[in-house]
């Protein structure tokens, strides 16, 4: 069964000690940004719930916001769990929005 969400990580035996120490400093900064962003995402999730209840469809703007938050939170968690040395960037340039073929988001991202 194919899922709508996939995570692909490559094992790299090399690790940077310098990046390991700077990661802790970055973590304190990103923790606050991520927490605030998560609070907004949760609030919008409540609004999305009412939109679906009343209109019977999703808001595309809230969907895109949640999708970007989910992508970034996944990258942050992989970085903090020491699965990668690459610090996550905020841009979504290298991650296409949709590969499912059921919508036209990949055309909108170009």
| pLDDT mean across residues, the chain | 79
Q: Residue 17's pLDDT band (boundaries 50, 70, 90)?
A: confident
Taking the CA atoms of the chain, what radius of gyration do you get in angstroms?
Answer: 17
Q: Residue 106's pLDDT band (boundaries 50, 70, 90)?
A: very low
pLDDT in tens, 45-82: 999 999 999 999 999 999 999 988 888 888 888 888 88
pLDDT at residue number 109: 47
Q: Sign of torsion, CA 106 58 69 36?
A: positive
Q: Residue 16's pLDDT band (boundaries 50, 70, 90)?
A: confident
Cβ atoms of 48 and 62 within 8 Å: the answer is yes
Q: Which of 80, 104, 77 is nearest to 26 (CA)?
A: 80
| Domain residue spans of the chain | 17-109
């Amino acid at each position: 069964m194919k899922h709508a969400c996939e995570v692909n990580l490559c094992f790299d035996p090399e690790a940077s000690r310098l990046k390991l120490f700077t990661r802790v400093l970055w973590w304190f900064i990103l923790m606050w940004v991520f927490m605030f962003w998560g609070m907004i995402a949760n609030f919008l999730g409540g609004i999305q719930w009412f939109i679906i209840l009343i209109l019977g469809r999703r808001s595309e703007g809230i969907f895109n916001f949640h999708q970007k938050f989910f992508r970034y939170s996944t990258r942050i968690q992989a970085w903090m769990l020491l699965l990668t040395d690459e610090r996550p960037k905020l841009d979504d340039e290298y991650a296409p929005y949709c590969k499912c073929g059921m919508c036209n988001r990949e055309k909108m991202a170009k």
